[in-house]
């Protein structure tokens, strides 16, 4: 600490300007608190700059590009010359999208009286924080603090990324050309999303997953649909396979892998993407000086209001135990802000939806059938296939299905999952239904607009009740033993 | 499960104090078995079980004041302790039979409620997981929150925490008050607090029970009714002589003959002649309700406070019958055994403070009645009779009347008539039906 240092006093400091941090800061501003938001890079965090938005921009582009090859059957005659993809142009477009959003967040912070400070923050004590801003060091004295520093890709030491051959997801989204061959270590949602996008753009993609199947976080029958598509895209999927070693030589990366079934094998690609998890950014924060405790994984345990072991210091988003999802961080940020302002807010919902932008998309909320049975429920489930939905066929999107999981006795909805076109938007209905404690009849009796994909929920709900119109109902209702 | 709610045991009643809980959790009860004693608008009532079953929950504590419609007990209908004992092993052997939403919900760690209701529960500092939902499929509704909050605040105010921001552990602590068997909780409001101010010690006592009722009723009455009081004095010698004559006859029939039955008789005769004094005003419709029945309330002093039992159809009863009934009602009042039936429906009230003393008063009208008469101390006074000073037994009476309906002239004519009837009791008999 500098002798004679003058600390700027503020009600709250928010460390990290990602979707959790900036939402918290804006809400605090709305509630009349003085707020300093400290961000070491650009507002918007991983989500806006290196995660959700850039990756969805790429996935959207890849999807559009890939569709060109199937337009012929819809009667669209393209010029005989083959379409090409120019990645530098995509980068320019992506940057404009990100910049527009950055500007929006910046404007909203200003409009709500949030002071944005660019720099790296370190706790000096339980009520002071220092910020390195280029050549300067500023100190802030706070009444409350919100830690929202997020997470970064986990890269094991033997897979050291070099930004050129061995890449993390951030590097991958910054590429200026589509790699001819691409090896992806990790068949989780980031690996499969980016892998499928690059496959659509022309890469020869090999996914190496240590678990028994890709997308191990989702139910097997949902990930199965993605596996089918991956194969159609010409991707090579190696499950139950571990990467032991990497070697870079002659402009290629060679991965030495082992599996019980196939023994040792090597895979060579122009680029390798490592997506095997994320770790919280808590190591450099000086949490010990603030007295904030972490668990053995570096996560900060919090209560439902985001409170850490220090009652005036909150933590939200990826630094807290739980799935690293932007919408979870945003909710936690708003709740922490409201609690600081004295409002009775709480993150008390188990219904955190997930969305995977693979081909087809997967989205869900609540329990899977297996989870519900594990919890002791006797469940009924039913699925409704996209191929029986008029709109899906008219969109040439007949792959996938919607599934509802229902408590057999009360008919309360326990989970809703969908794999298929636009699943990411369709799950909104599921989240609302579960939050409103809907029974399956509530969905079945609701008029859904026709012709839309949303009818898959209507029909799946009716199928649970044994009277779906557009599929044969007998034996479609699965009842747990 | 049958939720036993506080019924409206009397006209216009909206809350009652639970005086005694006569059963315990887990106890087997028969239909019509007394469960609780409740003190409502000036009466004690015994509430009995609507069904045979087992007391599953007792949601109120002795001393608690609850609103009509509040769930007091939960009774598992159709079972009793014996039957349940034989049922229990079956439940263990065949777990499928017992599967219902409750255990499953516990696993899921969530009660059924919409996000808005959850937010509201937090605002009200309630743990929603403890609330039984009455909405569709057991969803917790806004009304459930209110009911629960009312019960909680009344049953365990000391345990109701102030939730500091960010400390939901305290919220959990609020559940203690519900889980604890309320029967053993200290009687709400029985505690007194002595605080020292610059003026001296002040003892704070809760305004509750009958006193609270009286307070509310009085405030209502003086707020609505413009009171005017007229005072007059009566010569009582002839009435005293008559009473002395009749007393041996009354004694033979074991009847305690006071002056009150004579007053009631005189009053009824006057009321028939001045019907606006036996009326009420419907404040909602601005109508005058002239009542062709004469139910006379007698304000009675009891250890619990002033209670007004009502003599129904006083115009159809003899002096002796009235005397008998007055005696009987006074006894019931002192023993706190009056029912709602005894204290409702009055059309006019007599307040007899004579035995205690006092020259005059401004009695407050028993709303929705429009007049009240107060009888004061009977004493020998010097009076002028035919230009001569004589000693007579005299008594004052104060009549308060509702000036919206009754003019001063009418009121004085009314007391003049009573005076006339009582000063010459022969007239009283002449007018009697």
What's the number of CA atoms in the CB half-sphere (13 Å) around residue B59?
25
Write out chain A in H/E/C secondary structure.
Answer: CCCCCCCEEEEEEEECCCHHHHHHHHHHHHCCCCEEEEECCCCCHHHHHCCHHHHHHHHHHHHHHHHHHHHHHHCCCCCCCCCCCCHHHHHHHHHHHHHHHHHHHHHHHHHCCEEEEECEEEECCCCEEEEEECCEEEEEEEEEEEECCCEEECCCHHHCCCCCCEECHHHHHCCCCCCCEEEEECCCHHHHHHHHHHHHHCCEEEEECCCCCCCCCCCHHHHHHHHHHHHHCCCEEECCEEEEEEEEECCEEEEEEEECCCEEEEEEECEEEECCCEEECCCCCCHHHHCCCCCCCCCCCCCCCCECCCCCEEECHHHCCCCCCHHHHHHHHHHHHHHHCCCCCCCCCCCCCEEECCCCCEEEEECCHHHHHHCCCCEEEEEEEHHHCHHHHHCCCCCEEEEEEEECCCCEEEEEEEEECCHHHHHHHHHHHHHCCCEHHHHHCCCCCCCCCCHHHHHHHHHHCCCCCCCCCCCCCEECC
With CB atoms and an 8 Å threshold, state whether B165 touches A437: no
Phi, psi at A167, each rounded to 5°: -120, 150
Q: Which residue of A304, A346, A409 is in closest CB contact with B100? A: A409
**Which of B339, B330, B308 minimizes the C-alpha distance to B46?**
B339
- Residues A297 and A320: beta-carbon distance below 8 Å: no
Cis peptide bond N-terminal to A211, omega within 30: no
Please, what is the angle between helix B260-273 and helix B237-252, to 10°? Answer: 120
Counts of helices then strands in chain B (DSSP H, E): 14, 19
pLDDT at residue B105 above 80? no
Q: Dig out the tokens for A21 from the structure.
A: 């941090």
Q: Chain B contact for A266, CB < 8 A?
A: no
Query: Is B342 in the active site?
Result: no
Q: Which residue of B110, B113, B168 is in closest CB contact with A305? A: B168
- Catalytic residues of A, which ones? 450
A209/A184 Cα distance (integer angstroms): 9
Measured over the CA atoms of residue B204, residue B210, residue B211 and residue B214, the dihedral's sign is: positive
Q: Chain A contact for B108, CB < 8 A?
A: yes
Pairing of the two strands A271-274 and A181-185: parallel
Report the 10 Å Cβ neighbour count for A74.
9
What b-and-e string marks burial along A386-396, b requiring 16 or more CB atoms within 10 Å of the CB? bebbebbeeee
B61/B54 Cα distance (integer angstroms): 18
Confidence of residue B41 (pLDDT cuts 50, 70, 90): low
Q: Chain A contact for B430, CB < 8 A?
A: no
Q: Which residue has the higher pLDDT, B144 or A428?
A: A428
Q: Give the pLDDT confidence of B341-369 residue by residue, as tens digits.
A: 888 889 999 998 777 778 888 999 999 99
Interface confidence, given as ipTM, is 0.72
Work out the widest C-alpha separation in chain B, in whole angstroms.
102
Question: Could you read off the pLDDT tens digit of each residue along chain A, which spans 481 residues?
Answer: 444 467 899 999 999 999 999 999 999 999 999 999 999 999 998 888 988 999 999 999 999 999 998 899 999 999 888 899 999 999 999 999 999 999 999 999 999 999 999 999 999 999 999 999 888 889 999 999 999 999 998 888 888 889 999 999 999 999 999 999 999 999 999 999 999 999 999 999 999 999 999 999 899 999 999 999 999 999 999 999 999 999 999 999 999 999 998 899 999 999 999 998 899 999 989 999 999 999 999 999 999 899 999 999 999 999 999 999 999 999 999 999 999 999 999 998 889 999 999 999 999 999 999 999 988 899 999 999 999 999 999 999 999 999 999 999 889 999 999 999 999 999 999 999 999 999 999 999 999 999 999 999 999 999 999 999 999 986 545 555 5
- Residue B254 to residues A184, A226, B240, B247, B325, Cα–Cα distance (Å): 108, 100, 19, 10, 12
Q: Chain B contact for A378, CB < 8 A?
A: yes
Phi, psi at B29, each rounded to 5°: -125, 150
Q: What is the pLDDT of residue B78?
A: 66
Q: At B154, is the secondary structure helix, strand, or coil?
A: helix
pLDDT at residue B421 above 70? yes
- Residue A447 to residues A438, A441, A450, A453, B39, Cα–Cα distance (Å): 15, 12, 9, 13, 53
Q: Which residue has the higher pLDDT, A84 or B80?
A: A84
Q: Dig out the tokens for B284 from the structure.
A: 């909602």
In angstroms, what separates the C-alpha of B28 from chain A's closest C-alpha? 29
Residue of A nearest to B114 (CA): A436
Please, what is the angle between helix B408-423 and helix B260-273, to 10°? Answer: 130
Chosen from A437, A442, A481 to mutate, greatest number of chain B CBs within 10 A: A437
B180/B171 Cα distance (integer angstroms): 16
**Which of B25, B21, B9 minimizes the C-alpha distance to B67?**
B9
Q: Which residue of B99, B114, B165 is in closest CB contact with A342? A: B165
Q: What is the pLDDT of residue B10?
A: 55
- Residues A314 and A302: beta-carbon distance below 8 Å: yes
Q: What is the pLDDT of residue B89?
A: 30
In terms of residues, how long is chain A? 481
Q: Which residue of A342, A411, A437 is in closest CB contact with B139? A: A437
What part of A 380-419 touches B (C-beta under 8 Å)? 407, 409-412, 414
Q: Which residue has the higher pLDDT, B58 or A219?
A: A219
Q: At B408, is the secondary structure helix, strand, or coil?
A: helix
Q: Chain A contact for B384, CB < 8 A?
A: no
Q: Chain A contact for B162, CB < 8 A?
A: no
Please, what is the angle between helix A455-464 and helix A423-435, to 10°? Answer: 50
A115/A109 Cα distance (integer angstroms): 7
Confidence of residue B107 (pLDDT cuts 50, 70, 90): very low
A150/A147 Cα distance (integer angstroms): 9
Q: What are the residues whose beta carbons fall under 8 Å from the beta carbon of A162, sequence distance 6 or more? A: A248
Q: What is the pLDDT of residue B155?
A: 57
With CB atoms and an 8 Å threshold, state whether A344 touches B118: no
Residue of A nearest to B112 (CA): A437
Alpha carbon of residue A58 to chain centroid: 15
Confidence of residue B103 (pLDDT cuts 50, 70, 90): very low
pLDDT at residue B139 above 90? no
Residue of A nearest to B109 (CA): A350
Q: Chain A contact for B92, CB < 8 A?
A: no
- Residues B144 and B169: beta-carbon distance below 8 Å: no
Measured over the CA atoms of residue A40, residue A45, residue A48 and residue A54, the dihedral's sign is: positive
Q: What is the pLDDT of residue B176?
A: 30
pLDDT at residue B165 above 60? no
**A-B contacts at Cβ under 8 angstroms:** 73
B322/B305 Cα distance (integer angstroms): 23
A369/B283 Cα distance (integer angstroms): 63
């Amino acid at each position: 600490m500098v002798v004679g240092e003058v600390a700027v006093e503020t009600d709250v400091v928010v460390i990290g300007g990602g979707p959790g941090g900036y939402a918290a800061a804006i809400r605090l501003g709305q509630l009349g608190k003085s707020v300093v938001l400290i961000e070491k890079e650009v507002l918007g965090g991983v989500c806006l700059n290196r995660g959700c938005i850039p990756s969805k921009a790429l996935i959207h582009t890849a999807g559009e590009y890939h569709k060109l090859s199937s337009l012929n059957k819809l009667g669209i005659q393209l010029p005989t010359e083959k379409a090409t993809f120019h990645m530098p142009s995509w980068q320019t477009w992506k940057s404009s999208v990100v910049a527009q959003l950055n500007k929006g967040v910046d404007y909203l912070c200003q409009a709500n009286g949030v002071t944005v400070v660019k720099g790296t923050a370190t706790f000096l004590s339980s009520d002071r924080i220092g910020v390195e801003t280029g050549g300067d060091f500023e100190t802030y004295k706070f009444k409350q603090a919100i830690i929202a520093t997020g997470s970064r890709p986990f890269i094991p030491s033997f897979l050291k990324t070099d930004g050129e051959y061995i890449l993390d997801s951030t590097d991958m989204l910054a590429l200026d050309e589509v790699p001819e061959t691409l090896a992806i270590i990790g068949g989780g949602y980031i690996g499969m999303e980016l892998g499928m996008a690059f496959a659509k753009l022309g890469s020869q993609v090999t996914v190496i997953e240590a678990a028994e199947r890709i997308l191990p976080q989702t139910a097997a029958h949902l990930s199965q649909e993605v596996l089918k598509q991956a194969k159609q895209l010409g991707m090579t999927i190696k499950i139950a396979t571990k990467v032991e070693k990497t070697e870079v030589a002659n402009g290629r990366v060679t991965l030495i892998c082992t599996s019980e079934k196939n023994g040792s094998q090597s895979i060579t690609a122009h680029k390798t993407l490592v997506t095997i998890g994320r770790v919280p950014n808590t190591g450099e924060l000086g949490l010990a000086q603030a007295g904030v405790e972490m668990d053995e994984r570096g996560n900060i345990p919090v209560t439902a209001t985001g409170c850490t072991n220090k009652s005036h210091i909150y933590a939200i988003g990826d630094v807290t135990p739980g799935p690293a999802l932007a919408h979870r961080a945003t909710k936690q940020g708003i709740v922490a802000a409201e609690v600081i302002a004295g409002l009775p807010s709480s993150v008390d919902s188990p219904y955190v939806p997930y969305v995977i932008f693979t081909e087809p998309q997967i989205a869900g909320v609540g329990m899977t059938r297996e989870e519900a049975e594990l919890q002791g429920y006797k469940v009924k489930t039913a699925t409704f296939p996209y191929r029986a939905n008029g709109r899906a066929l008219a969109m040439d999107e007949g792959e996938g299905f919607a599934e509802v999981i229902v408590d057999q006795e009360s008919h309360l909805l326990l989970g809703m999952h969908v794999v298929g076109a636009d699943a990411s938007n369709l799950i909104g209905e599921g989240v609302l239904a579960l939050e409103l404690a809907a029974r399956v009849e509530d969905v079945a009796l609701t008029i859904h607009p026709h012709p839309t994909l949303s009818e898959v929920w209507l029909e799946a709900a009716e199928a649970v009740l044994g009277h779906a119109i557009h599929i044969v109902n007998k034996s479609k209702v699965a009842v747990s033993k | 499960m049958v939720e036993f709610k506080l019924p409206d045991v009397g006209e216009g009643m909206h809350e009652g104090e639970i005086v005694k809980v006569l059963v315990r959790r887990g106890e087997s009860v028969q239909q019509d078995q007394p469960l609780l004693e409740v003190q409502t608008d000036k009466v004690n009532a015994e509430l009995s079980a609507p069904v045979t079953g087992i007391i599953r929950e007792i949601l109120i504590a002795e001393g608690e004041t609850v609103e009509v419609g509040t769930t007091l007990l939960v009774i598992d209908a159709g079972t009793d302790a014996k039957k349940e004992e034989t049922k229990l092993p079956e439940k263990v052997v065949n777990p499928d039979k017992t599967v219902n939403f409750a255990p499953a919900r516990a696993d899921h760690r969530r009660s059924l409620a919409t996000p808005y209701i959850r937010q509201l529960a937090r605002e009200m500092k309630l743990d929603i997981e403890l609330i039984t939902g009455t909405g569709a499929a057991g969803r917790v509704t806004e009304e459930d929150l209110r009911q629960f909050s009312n019960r909680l605040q009344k049953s365990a105010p000391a345990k109701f925490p102030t939730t500091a921001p960010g400390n939901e552990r305290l919220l959990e602590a609020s559940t203690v008050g519900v889980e604890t068997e309320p029967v053993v909780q200290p009687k709400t409001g029985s505690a007194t607090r002595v605080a020292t101010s610059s003026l001296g010690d002040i003892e704070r006592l809760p305004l509750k029970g009958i006193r609270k009722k009286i307070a509310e009723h009085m405030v209502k009455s003086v707020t609505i009714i413009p009171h005017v009081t007229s005072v007059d004095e009566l010569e009582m010698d002839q009435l005293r002589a008559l009473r002395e004559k009749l007393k041996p006859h009354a004694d033979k029939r074991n009847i305690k003959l006071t002056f009150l039955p004579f007053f009631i008789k005189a009053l009824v005769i006057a009321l028939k002649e001045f019907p606006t004094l036996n009326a009420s005003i419907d404040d909602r419709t601005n109508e005058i309700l002239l009542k062709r029945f004469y139910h006379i309330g007698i304000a009675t002093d009891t250890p619990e406070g002033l209670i007004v039992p009502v003599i129904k159809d006083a115009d159809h009863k003899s002096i002796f019958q009235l005397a008998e009934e007055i005696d009987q009602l006074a006894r019931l009042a002192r023993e706190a055994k009056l029912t709602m039936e005894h204290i409702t429906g009055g059309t006019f009230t007599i307040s007899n403070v004579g035995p205690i003393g006092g020259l005059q008063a401004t009695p407050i009208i028993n709303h929705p009645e429009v007049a009240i008469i107060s009888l004061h101390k009977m004493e020998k006074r010097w009076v002028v009779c035919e230009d001569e000073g004589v000693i007579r037994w005299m008594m004052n009476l104060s009549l308060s009347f509702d000036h919206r309906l009754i003019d001063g002239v009418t009121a004085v004519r009314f007391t003049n008539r009573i005076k006339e009837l009582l000063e010459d009791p022969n007239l009283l008999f002449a007018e009697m039906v």
